[in-house]
Amino acid sequence: MSSTTTLHDIDLPARVKQEAARRRTFAIISHPDAGKSTLTEALALHAAAIVRAGAVHGKHGRQGVTSDWLEMERARGISITSSALQFTVGDVHINMLDTPGHADFSEDTYRVLAAVDCAVMLLDAAKGLEPQTLKLFEVCRARRIPVITFVNKWDRPGLEPLALLDEIHARLGLETVPVTWPVGVAGDFRGVVDRRTGGMVEYERTPGGVTLAREQDLSPEEAVARHGEDWVRAREEHELLALTAEEDRDAFLRGESTPVLFGAAVLNMGVGALLDLLVDTAPAPAPWPLIDGGARELDAPFSGFVFKVQAGMDTAHRDRLAFVRVCSGRFERGMPLVHAATGRPFVSKYAQSVFGRERHTVDEAYPGDIVGLVNAAALRVGDTLYDGPPVTFPPVPRFSPEHFRVARVADAGRSKQFRRGITQLDEEGVVQVCHSDARGSASPVLAAVGPMQFEVVSHRMASEFNAPIRLEALPYEIARRPVPEVVGDVTRAIGAEVLERTDGTLMAVFRDKWRLATIERDLPPGSLRPLFGEE
Ligand code: GDP
């Protein structure tokens, strides 16, 4: 307990549980261009509008929505690069973690999912499940995180809603539970059947440049009168599905089913329903699994783990920010903590919340919250911080790399700096570092989930370690973990090679999946195991 603990903290455990119960910590998983930034803003906007007007349904509140929207538009750069956006809906604190997408898709993206309690899978109505979404979904499945599906861009022509549900069921093995159902075909989106009321939420587009849909609740009678056949068909389809897919919150929480919503983030359609679902149905933080198989109770003393380390743009200042997910207890800025990896005390005086470039001091935080620790040079991804008796969480998993480069020092006189830099970046988890006898220790192979990771390495090696490097691409795109008996076979095969990661994991790499299939055919079954989420 910190020195700031006061008498009223006799009730601290109860308070921590209460605070945890009103947290929702989630990330959006999607393929680039599906509308993640747009939805992120729309959610925050909607929340702001609710705070202002009590509700955004109907005409009141509309003014607030518009001005908030414009305000947020101005701040667009900030909200998009947010590492953790926190906002409040009524009594509930929502922590929305950014999963870096686009070109900088990297191991970082996956790791963010190690720190959330729930994910929103955002699909483009015209494209359905896309590759990046599938990969991110696999991470959610491995962690058994519940997933809410939001089908976006319904204002444009897209796939049939039933076809989308079938695809989710067939490819992800998830039961789909439509919470809303679109009235009007994709491209002529009138609103949705609202499962909770049985009525319709009508979306009315407003004319003009930046448009926000007005939402209006209609009774079934009003919906028939205004939308005739479209309403009747939507309701019939929805009832049919509702019968076969009985809503089951437990199945959702177990990661076996996914509630599905239809909307258009850019027009603010369906965003309110998503927010409601996050508040009402998404899980609050639960006791966090420990390495020994037990779990850290929410009201135990403070504990948290680092899921992301971000080196500042200004490398001269060695500004390094470690993002910590609070797992138990109350975090108070200044409280003395222990860094589990070294057993040393950690000074938590410089705790911040980070919204893009803006930082604010954080004085206290509860399970589910994200705290940014400044000047945290000693902290690595996966590290635990705690108060009281020691706590050990399982390691944050590493993921199967798909890009490989040989790294060499550009100036032979700088070999020492080169080795030091590569070791440091390896420890930070910026990239996975491997060696092989054939290549020698001066030419490590860097393995990454996304190519952006190499750019970070190059930049930091030059600017921070004063050891510019040359990178040579290797023609591999798939990695497996071989059993020791087949290492010789794989090494001799064409289009493959065996490397050893610095943590001792063997990594067999292959030119492509066809090469892998051919080589695997000649090996005993089970000789090559997936690397994904291996630890
Ligand atoms: P991200 O790459 O997933 O962050 O996607 P963005 O939010 O940047 O959106 C990609 C593009 O899709 C942008 O041009 C958006 O304006 C557009 N977009 C996003 N949501 C919608 C939507 O609901 N309907 C339509 N028609 N376009 C959308």
ipTM for the complex? 0.99
**For residues 85 and 83, what is the distance between their CA atoms, to the nearest angstrom?**
7
Q: Among residues of the chain, what percentage have pLDDT more than 70?
A: 84
pLDDT band at residue 316, thresholds of 50, 70 and 90? very low
Q: What is the CA radius of gyration of the chain?
A: 25
Closest CA to 45 of 30, 32, 29, 56: 56
**For residues 402 and 428, what is the distance between their CA atoms, to the nearest angstrom?**
19
pLDDT per residue as tens digits for the range 351-387? 776 654 556 777 889 999 998 887 777 888 889 999 9
**For residues 73 and 48, what is the distance between their CA atoms, to the nearest angstrom?**
14
Of 28, 30, 33, the residue with max ligand 1 atoms within 8 A of its CB, to mutate for a pocket test, comes to 33
The pLDDT of residue 445: 97
**What is residue 482's three-state secondary structure?**
strand
* Residues ≥6 apart with Cβ < 8 Å to 529: 480, 481, 482, 483
The tokens describing 379, both together, are: 């902290």
Full-model pTM: 0.84
- Residue 150 near residue 123 (C-beta atoms within 8 A): yes
| pLDDT at residue 108 greater than cutoff 60 | yes
Closest CA to 262 of 172, 166, 158: 158
The tokens describing 156, both together, are: 């444009």
pLDDT band at residue 102, thresholds of 50, 70 and 90? low
The pLDDT of residue 101: 58
Residue nearest to atom 17 of ligand 1 (CA): 35
The pLDDT of residue 334: 86
Counting beta carbons within 10 angstroms of the beta carbon of residue 424, is it exposed (0 to 12), middle (13 to 18) or buried (19 or more)? middle
Residues with CB under 6 A from ligand 1: 30, 32-38, 101, 152-153, 155-156, 264-266
On average, the pLDDT of the chain sits at: 83
Of 29, 98, 266, 274, the residue with max ligand 1 atoms within 8 A of its CB, to mutate for a pocket test, comes to 266
Residue nearest to atom 2 of ligand 1 (CA): 33
pLDDT band at residue 427, thresholds of 50, 70 and 90? confident
- Residue 299 near residue 329 (C-beta atoms within 8 A): yes
Annotated ligand binding at 100? The verdict is: yes
| pLDDT at residue 100 greater than cutoff 70 | no
Residue 244: CB atoms within 10 Å: 9
The pLDDT of residue 266: 85
